[in-house]
Structure 1
Amino acid sequence: MKCIPFLMAAVLAGCVSKPLPPDWQANAKGALDASVDDYLKGHTAASNAEFREARAETAATGRADHVAQVELVRCAAQAASLVFEDCPGYAALSPDATPAQRAYAAYLAGQWDGLDAALLPEQHRAIVAGGALEKIADPLSRLVAAGALFKAGRIAPAGVALAVDTASNQGWRRPLLTWLGVQAQRAEAAGDTAALNAIERRRKLLTTP
């Protein structure tokens, strides 16, 4: 039977062969994406509200691994901003998390000894193996990797500078402030007053209404 090129006619004629995904998936993804974006921009209240919505949508499945994934996305955004709080939301779900989720949580926490990098997303596998941070095309993934490197004590000055540039180019105020703080500490330790003053001027721009 030939499908009629109108949506309602197609539905009535049985021409839709692939079922639509359940509402919770789209709702959770939309809320989680918005939460991460607001978090990186420094809009804490909005981010928290959107995160609660994403978690509630996912929790409706009764699947701990689904909820753990939402928590890990939040942990990754925090790692990109150098906020390491042991991800208590994920920790409570970790007994029911997948092996890949456990590996990713360890990666974010800088716990790389004995880490099975094969369980990580490809771009992060390369980082554990000593790959270059600048080869990660996605800005958020690059910042997450920089945060993991920092936590593991393996980030070079060039990596810090790349994290600063990445956050700056995206207009992500929260990680930009924290990465500039790392640069400031290193400039102060090196006695580089000119660099320190330049960094402080940038930080002032970010914090002045």
Structure 2
Amino acid sequence: MARAALSSAVLLLAACAGGPPPPAWQGNARQALDRAVEAHLSGDSRAEAQDFARARSEIARTGNPALMARAELIRCAAQVAGLMFGPCEGFERLRADADPAGRAYADHLAAMPLSADDIAHLPSAQRDAAAAVASARRGGRSAPGPSAASLQKIDDPLARLIAVAVLFQAGQASPAVIAVAADTASAQGWRRPLLAWLNVQAQRAENAGDSAEAQRLRRRIELVRNDR
């Protein structure tokens, strides 16, 4: 199981950690969430839906809407990593019951400018990207975000993709930063985000008139698409 998926599950269940052995629902929910994230990244929509439904069922046993809101955020974060932008509808239905960290993370996924207090609620891997977005929006202009080298230092590959995707939404992802996302997805074998980022690179190459590079990228895209 990918380390990124495991850390995503920890984000959900951290509030329940410690003390006596955890109840069965926690382990069941964590495993289902891990599988759902991995299935999404691999491009298996059917398995993703089934596993996420299992996770929701386990979490619903607690009657805790804040935990359910975090589960919805995990799903949306995986989607954002592959450039599937839009409202996180499952979370928004539960926003009123979400904790401050959940609300800050949802706004971050939408590349909204956050306050310093909200940025402090984010996982550490996301704070530089969030600060860059906030700084640019306050100044009313596009500003450079974290460098490709600094993004490479984010240990969790899913967190790295999310940070780049947020910067991309905000118009702050340079070609080198976009390459970090494509290389990360490639190294993990994550078909869905890899196709998304390769398409971004191919479109940029075509717009720049670099037909050789565009053709090279289109060959990579066809390789990924045909390997099913």
TM over 0.5: yes
Q: What TM-score comes out, normalization by structure 2 length?
A: 0.81
Per the alignment, in what secondary structure is the counterpart of residue 26 of structure 1? helix
Per the alignment, in what secondary structure is the counterpart of residue 19 of structure 1? coil
Number of the residue aligned with 1:10: none
- 1:143 partner amino acid: L
- The 8 Å contact of residues 108 and 151 in structure 1, kept in 2 or not, is answered as no
- The 8 Å contact of residues 180 and 203 in structure 1, kept in 2 or not, is answered as yes
Are positions 1:128 and 2:130 aligned together? yes
Number of the residue aligned with 1:173: 191
| Match 1:198 to one of 216, 221, 226 | 216
- The 8 Å contact of residues 164 and 181 in structure 2, kept in 1 or not, is answered as yes
Q: Partners in 2 of 1:141 and 1:109 — Cα distance?
A: 15
- The 8 Å contact of residues 173 and 206 in structure 1, kept in 2 or not, is answered as yes
How far apart are residue 126 of structure 1 and its match?
2.4
| Match 1:151 to one of 153, 169, 181 | 169
Unaligned segments of structure 2, at least 5 residues: 1-18, 132-144
How far apart are residue 57 of structure 1 and its match?
0.6
Number of the residue aligned with 2:179: 161
Q: Partners in 2 of 1:156 and 1:105 — Cα distance?
A: 24
Structure 1 stretches of 4+ moved >2 Å: 113-116, 126-132
How far apart are residue 113 of structure 1 and its match?
4.8
Paired residues, number = 192
Number of the residue aligned with 2:70: 69
| Match 2:201 to one of 177, 183, 193 | 183
Q: Partners in 2 of 1:113 and 1:33 — Cα distance?
A: 28
What do you get for the CA RMSD once the two structures are aligned? 1.2
Q: Partners in 1 of 2:176 and 2:182 — Cα distance?
A: 10
- The 8 Å contact of residues 111 and 130 in structure 2, kept in 1 or not, is answered as no
Number of the residue aligned with 1:96: 97
How far apart are residue 32 of structure 1 and its match?
0.2
How far apart are residue 85 of structure 1 and its match?
2.7
Q: Partners in 1 of 2:94 and 2:224 — Cα distance?
A: 36
- The 8 Å contact of residues 109 and 152 in structure 1, kept in 2 or not, is answered as no
- The 8 Å contact of residues 108 and 114 in structure 2, kept in 1 or not, is answered as no
- The 8 Å contact of residues 37 and 78 in structure 2, kept in 1 or not, is answered as yes
Q: Partners in 2 of 1:135 and 1:106 — Cα distance?
A: 24
Structure number, greater radius of gyration? 1
The aligned runs of 1:27-66 (5 Å cut-off) are: 27-66=28-67
Unaligned segments of structure 1, at least 5 residues: 1-17
- 1:48 partner amino acid: A
How far apart are residue 119 of structure 1 and its match?
1.0
How far apart are residue 82 of structure 1 and its match?
0.4
Name the stretch that deviates more: 86-95 or 106-115: 106-115
